[in-house]
Chain A
Amino acid sequence: MSKILEVKNLTVSLAGEEVIKNLSFQVQKGDFLTILGPNGTGKTVLLKTLLGFITDYAGEINWTGKTRVGYLPQGLTREKVGDMPLSVLEFLSLKNKNKKEIQEYLELVGVKDPKFLSKKIGDLSGGQFQRMLMVWALFDEPEILFFDEPTTGIDIKGEETVYNLLHKLQKEKGLTIILITHDVNVVYKHSSDVLCMSGDYSCYSKPEEIMDPKKLEEIYGMPVKFYKHNH
């Protein structure tokens, strides 16, 4: 395993308030890192800083070499683009790919129905919409994929398939995945590492260590229910 990203003493301030304080961690190639924490603790800010959208920060962010990055933004759901007259094929063609390439990638995320391409993107189910966005992100053959709450607006069954798919991609393509979520249950089942963020407090550990009722209460400030799955 080799290091793909190193963050040292990162501090990010927005409008005079320190959102991220003195954060340090490393990501190895092939990791499935989950960033966990309640809302408003700077998870998305961290992602945007890593991606280079926020440039005003103190500390160091070191990528190993030139890393190709894929990103699925927070809050991009089918409801938001629902009324755009845009078919799946047209949307994915915006990436300058031809139909054959698009179909190949769709198969990779488990979509085989040829009618899928002519559907309006607003008419897709939440899970289908996320798959389409994954194809968008995968087109660039990224080495690292960022997901910000990818299951917003998806029912529990759909949620499970999205996470399973992420897990599969991580294994099959050797992708490094960084996932933001406030859903504790994802952590144990899929992650290799967990970064928890909770205001002043942050921690970096293996899922086994963090999935402890006491520790979770520290992060969330209240008891959290979760289910331990056996691997």
Chain B
Amino acid sequence: MEINLIYSLIAGISIGGVSAYLGSLMLQRRMSLAAGPLGHLAFPGVALALLYGFDMSLGAFPFVVLGIVLIWLFENKTKLPTEALTAVVFASGVALSFLFLPIDKAEEALVGSISNINLTEMLATMFISMGVLLLIRYIYREMTIMSVSEDLASVEGINTKKYNFFFLLSISIMVALGVKLVGALLTAALVSIPAATAKNISGSMKSYIMFSVLAGILSSIIGIFIYKTTYLPAGILIILTSASFFLVSLFFVKKK
């Protein structure tokens, strides 16, 4: 196996697996789609990275964080629902980035570029993903109680603001990393599809998390291997693989 393929596989497995793990929590919180707009928010950062030749995720991260802070500020300033503000902020982000994104680089920004990842990038991706994995593990119990009921969480003495902050931080980081794997357009798919697939076939939290992570990892591996034979963009193939798993899961939906 050529070295480049191994790099993309390791990065793909890290991002795919941890995103799916995070996605299982986002689905519980009914926030699956949030990663979509956030990915779009990353566009200006991705554009800058491509323009000046530095890492896409590095460019994306500050813009995702900036976007979340803006949404949070507007939320406190107005009485508009989060989703409306998200729409305002992310559309502006996309528009802004296309002002100065070199058009020949647009494809990379749209569908990702995991196939030409280098050693440093791969190692950074792997370690950051592991860090987020630990962070999600740390917040999972409390976030689950919060998903059942915020009031119940308050009685338990859970500092909901703190956990929500760590949750948003995890989302920002995984969106920034996901941009490299599948592009800024498709980050939502990395968190939402594996969790949705797993939920279809699970009756308990344990199997739900396990199937979600498994679907995330397998989609990355299969997607990258299909890329090796077809040379279509790897990001697109990963998402389509993931979507196929979802379709299959429909036949095994757990009713009771």
Please list the residues of chain A having a beta carbon within 8 angstroms of any beta carbon in chain B. Answer: 51, 53, 69-71, 73-74, 76, 80-81, 83-87, 90-91, 94, 118, 120, 123, 136
Given A51-B154, A85-B207, 10 additional A-B pairs, CB 8 A? A53-B151, A71-B152, A73-B149, A81-B147, A85-B208, A86-B148, A90-B205, A91-B148, A118-B204, A120-B256
- Asked if A85 and B202 make an inter-chain contact with CB atoms under 8 angstroms apart, the answer reads yes
> A90 to B147, alpha carbons, bound, how many Å?
14
Given contacts A90-B205, A94-B144, A120-B204, contact A85 B199 (CB under 8 A): yes
Contacts of B152 in A (CB 8 A): 71, 73, 76, 136
Please list the residues of chain B having a beta carbon within 8 angstroms of any beta carbon in chain A. Answer: 28, 141, 144-145, 147-149, 151-152, 154-155, 198-199, 202-208, 256
What is the minimal beta-carbon distance from A54 to any residue of chain B, in angstroms?
11
Most chain B CB within a 10 A radius of its CB, from A51, A84, A91: A84
- Asked if B151 and A71 make an inter-chain contact with CB atoms under 8 angstroms apart, the answer reads yes
Contacts of B208 in A (CB 8 A): 85
> A123 to B204, alpha carbons, bound, how many Å?
12
Given contacts A73-B149, A94-B144, A123-B256, contact A86 B204 (CB under 8 A): yes
Question: Who on chain B is nearest to A133 by CB?
Answer: B152
> A65 to B208, alpha carbons, bound, how many Å?
43
> A86 to B204, alpha carbons, bound, how many Å?
5
Question: Which 8 A-B pairs give the minimum distances between C-beta atoms?
Answer: A73-B151, A85-B208, A85-B202, A87-B204, A71-B155, A90-B205, A76-B149, A86-B205
Contacts of B154 in A (CB 8 A): 51, 53
- Asked if B205 and A85 make an inter-chain contact with CB atoms under 8 angstroms apart, the answer reads yes
Question: Who on chain A is nearest to B151 by CB?
Answer: A73
